[in-house]
Amino acid sequence: MASEGQTSTGYIQHHLQNLAYGKLPAGYERLDANGNVVEVLQQDTWTIAHTSQEAVDMGFWAVHLDTLGWSVFLALILGFIFNKAVGTANAGVPKGVQSFVEMIVEFVNATVTDIFHHKNRLIAPMALTIFTWVFMMNLMDLIPVDWLPFAAAQIAGDPHFFFKVVPTTDPNATMGMALTVFALMIFFSIQQKGFMGFVKELTLHPFHSGKWFVDIFLIPVNLILETVSLIAKPISLGLRLFGNLYAGEMIFILIALMFSAGLVMGIGGFFLQMGWAIFHILVITLQAFVFMVLTTVYMAMAHDVEEH
C-alpha cells in the first residue's frame, strides 16, 4: 500500500529503483527526500544510494545489491531442492519433491532433444538451469509489491530504503544472462567451425557466388547483415525477458495504488490483483520457457557446421 504522504509518482519511482551500491566523488552533496543538503563528501566514497539521483550519479560501476542478492538466494534454493531430490532418489515410484524434479528434468530434456541435435553434455544442464532459475526469479513478481520492501525498510530503519525483489525486472540481470549466452555462442561457433570458419560464416552468407571478383563486393554486405543479426540475438533475448516482467511489475504497482484510494477501490484492486496474478503465472512460466528455448536454438546454430 502506498505510504501516507507519498505521491503516486513517488510511490511508483520508489518501487522501480534498485538498491544501488557505488562510488560518489569527493565534494558530492547528498540530499534528503526533500532536496535539502545533509552531507558533503570529503573524499571519494563507496556507499549505498539514498536517492534515485545518487544511483544515477554512481554511474556504470554501481552494483544492484538487491538483484544480486535475490539471484544468488534463489539459486541456492534451487540447489537445495535438486540436492534433496537427488538425495532421496530411489528406484521405486517417485514421490513428493523427487517426482516434481523428475517431471521438470524430463520436460526440459525432451525440449532440448527436439531442438539440439548435436553432441554437447553442457547444453541440457544449462537449459535446465536457465528454465528453473529464470522461473524462480520471475516467480518473485507474484509476492505483493509492498511486503518485502516494507520489511526491508523496517529492518534498515529507513522508510525510503530501496529494495526490488524481482531480479528479471532489472535489465542488468537479463542482459547479463543474455551476454553470457552470446559469449557461449561465439565460443562454440569458433570451437566447432574454427576461427576462419566463423569468419566465413559472417562474410560469405547469405550471398555467395563462388567467384572471388563478385564475392569481394558481397563480403561487406554479408558482414553488415550477419553482424546485425548476431548482435540482435542477445539484445532481443535480454530485453524480451526484461520488458515482459517489467510491464507485469508495473501493473502490480498500479493496482497496489488502488488500495490507498478508499474501500471501494481497494476491493476492486483486490480482485484485479488476484486476476492479474493468476494470468501472470502463465507469463512468468512462458518467459522462462522462451529464454530456455531461444538459448538452446542459439547453441544449435553455433554447432551447425553444414555449408549452405
CB atoms within 10 A of CB 110: 10
Amino acid, single-letter form, for residue 296:
T
Residues 4/150, Cβ–Cβ less than 8 Å: no
Confidence at residue 288, expressed as pLDDT on a 0 to 100 scale: 98
CA quadruple 267, 269, 274, 278: dihedral, nearest 10: 150
C-alpha cell read off for 24: 560518489
Q: What are the tens digits of pLDDT across the range 40-76? A: 999 999 999 998 999 999 999 999 999 999 999 999 9
The owner of cell 483486490 is 270
270-303 tens-digit pLDDT? 999 999 999 999 999 999 999 999 999 999 999 9
Phi, psi dihedral angles at 48 (to 5 degrees): -90, 135
Q: How far apart are CA 195 and CA 203, in angstroms?
A: 12
Residue 308 has pLDDT above 70, yes or no: no
Residue 1: Cβ-neighbour burial (10 angstroms; 0-12, 13-18, 19+): middle
What's the pLDDT score for residue 307? 54
When the pLDDT of each residue in the chain is averaged and rounded to a whole number, the result is: 91
**pLDDT(4) > 60:** no
> CA-CA distance, 170 to 161, in Å (whole number)?
17
Please give the pLDDT value at position 5. Answer: 56
Given a cut of 50, whether residue 3 has pLDDT beyond it is no
Tell me the per-residue pLDDT of 209-258, one tens digit each, with 9 for 90 and over: 878 778 888 889 999 999 999 999 999 999 999 999 999 999 999 999 99
One-letter amino acid of 31 = L
Q: Which residue has the cell 505483493?
A: 144
Would you name the residues annotated as active-site residues?
236, 240, 244
CB 241 within 8 A of CB 179: no
Which one is predicted more confidently, 260 or 227?
A: 227
pLDDT of residue 25: 94
pLDDT of 154 higher than 60:
yes
Q: Model's pTM, two decimal places? A: 0.92
- Residue 142: pLDDT over 80: yes
What are the sequence ranges of the domains in the chain? Answer: 8-63, 65-303
Sign of the CA dihedral 299, 184, 235, 230?
A: negative
Neighbours of 92 (CB within 10 A): 7
**Distance, CA of 95 to CA of 101 (rounded, Å):** 10
d(CA 9, CA 52): 13
- Distance (Å, whole) CA 76 – CA 53: 33
pLDDT digits (tens, 9 = 90+) for 156-194: 988 889 999 999 999 999 999 999 999 999 999 999 999
Rounded CA-CA distance 222/209 in Å is 12
